[in-house]
Amino acid sequence: MLAGLSLSSCDKYLDVEPVGRVLPKTTEDYRGLLTSAYSYFPQHKSLLALRTDELILNDFSEQFVYNRDIYFWKDTDFDPVTTPFPYQFFYQVVFYTNNIIASAEADAGKSVEVDQIVGEAYLLRAYSHFELLNLFAKPYNTATAATDRGVPISTEIDLEQDYKPASVEAVYEQIFKDIEAGEPRLSVNSYELGKNYRFTRRAALALKARIHLYRSEWKKSLDAAQKALDMDSRLEDFNLTDSKLPNHFQSVESVMSLEHTFPTSVSGSVYISPDFINRYAENKDLRRTRFFRRSGSRYSSIKGGEEFVVSFRNAELYLTKAEAAYHESNEPLAKETLLALKAKRLTPDFYSTESVRINALSGAALLNEILEERALELALEGHRWYDLRRNGQPQIIHTYDGEQYILRQNDPRYTLPFPREAVSLNPDLR
């Protein structure tokens, strides 16, 4: 998979406008161009984890200086060496997908394989706009989405186009158009290992489930999650010695493995927050020792590294299904789904106790349990920041060197500013 995604393997398609040194004409050419698009998809989720309640800084790390201002939510007047949040690379991905969508069928002919390539391009373009929106725009709000500033929409190759930010609602409308255009073209339910970074029918459903969840469209989210799980609902069982971590690209839970969500560039500069690690019941919640390793009095993550690549996985679908079912007034289904996941993550004795406790929950207590399970299960995979944004934007306090840094409830810094370089090139982003 790493070879398939490496820039070197796709070099002939890169760096020269409008597409590359070789103008794509054949099905193989367009698959190569799409592989280039996948390879440019940003690995930004670990930077988001720095802004949450999951981590504390390790100031003895060589990477410390590159990440500290992100940890302090210092989004203006930051140290110039601070790792920037991606913007340009998303639009580079979109640039390639635009070419594929516009030209692949005309150049390579109509076929099942070309349809699959074009379908993937539509889904990758939708996912790119979705990530941009959740980085640089306010969380979706039905009442204000039509006027809240979103991000520029790019759907065609036009070097003269003015890239003005569209409204949040307009960007979502384009995302749904792309999904609607791309999903029927997909013929692959799941790719074999090494190619499972690509969009498939299951990955399209997982993306829809996530988008509708973020928009509080509970019935649509529930339906999409259920359809994806109907195709494959396996979970890793941590009570078995041969189980893999669920964010490993070879995991039975993998739906799509594109993003390195916690690479060493960040993982080496942090420890797990003591408050966060203590949310896992010691000797009872198996994730405490499967996800993290003890390093003296502190904990570091095991979930990062080259083989830990994940964009969508089944446990997220279970949690989406549980949350959506709750909001659809189906608490029995929400509990059943939540417990199905917990059965694979807890010791048998603790699961027996937990099943009694959870079956007694209702109302806000049940919802809080589902959201807590999202935090524990999806830790360090990029979900936490987005979940905090869409669920009340609570206050977070980071303490470093005896000083407190506070992200207040509903703080404007829950939405990232456009990067300086992007604003300097496009004044419409100011």
The token pair at 256 is: 């799509």
What stretch of H or E contains 75?
Answer: none
| pLDDT over 80 at 23, yes or no | yes
Q: Is 6 a residue whose pLDDT tops 70?
A: no
200: CB partners within 8 A, 6+ apart:
186, 188, 189, 190, 191, 255, 256
Rounded CA separation 403/409 (Å): 19
Residue 246 φ/ψ region, left for φ over 0, alpha for ψ in the -120 to 50 degree band, beta for the rest: alpha
Compute the CA torsion angle 90, 96, 99, 100 (nearest 10 deg): -110
C-alpha span between 406 and 74 (Å, rounded): 11
| Full-model pTM | 0.93
End-to-end CA distance of the chain: 39
Widest distance between CA atoms in the chain: 64
Separation between Cα atoms, residue 122 and residue 142, nearest integer Å: 25
Identify the CA nearest to 374 among candidates 287, 298, 292, 293: 287
The predicted structure's pLDDT at residue 265: 85
The answer to whether 199 touches 256, Cβ cutoff 8 Å, is yes
Q: Is 369 helix (H, G, I), strand (E, B) or coil?
A: helix
Q: Which helix (H) or strand (E) holds 295?
A: strand 292-295
- Spell out the SS3 assignment of 188-246: CCCCCCCCCCCCCHHHHHHHHHHHHHHCCCHHHHHHHHHHHHHHCCCCCCCCCCCCCCC
Token pair of 393 as six digits: 């934007």
Strand pairing partners for 405?
398
Question: 127-185 pLDDT, tens per residue?
Answer: 999 999 999 999 999 999 999 999 999 999 877 777 899 999 999 999 999 999 999 99
**Helix, strand, coil share of the chain (percent; to 5):** 50, 10, 40
Confidence of residue 22 (pLDDT cuts 50, 70, 90): low
Band (4; pLDDT cuts 50, 70, 90): very low
Measured between alpha carbons, how far is residue 205 from residues 176, 244, 255 in Å? 12, 24, 10
Domains annotated for the chain, with CATH where assigned, are 1-39+87-187 (1.25.40.390), 46-77+233-430 (1.25.40.390)
Radius of gyration, alpha carbons of the chain: 21
Asked if residue 413 has pLDDT above 80, the reply is: yes
Which of 293, 312, 294, 311 minimizes the C-alpha distance to 302?
Answer: 293
- CB count, 10 Å around CB of 335? 22
Query: Residue 313's pLDDT is what?
Result: 98
Nearest residue to 97 (alpha-carbon basis) of 68, 127, 77, 67: 127
The pLDDT tens digits for 294-321 are 988 999 999 988 899 999 999 999 999 9
pLDDT per residue as tens digits for the range 374-408 = 999 999 999 999 999 999 999 999 999 999 999 99
List the beta bridge partners of residue 198.
Answer: none
Backbone dihedral region for residue 20 (phi beyond 0: left; psi -120 to 50: alpha; all else: beta): left
pLDDT in tens, 257-275: 999 999 888 998 999 999 9
Nearest to 164 by CA among 184, 150, 143, 178: 150
Q: Please report, as a single letter, which amino acid is at residue 159.
A: L
Task: Say what the pLDDT of residue 243 is.
Answer: 97
Q: How far apart are CA 34 and CA 280, in angstroms?
A: 40
- Report d(CA 177, CA 184) in Å as an integer: 12
Q: What is the mean pLDDT of the chain?
A: 93
Higher-confidence position of 14 and 31:
31
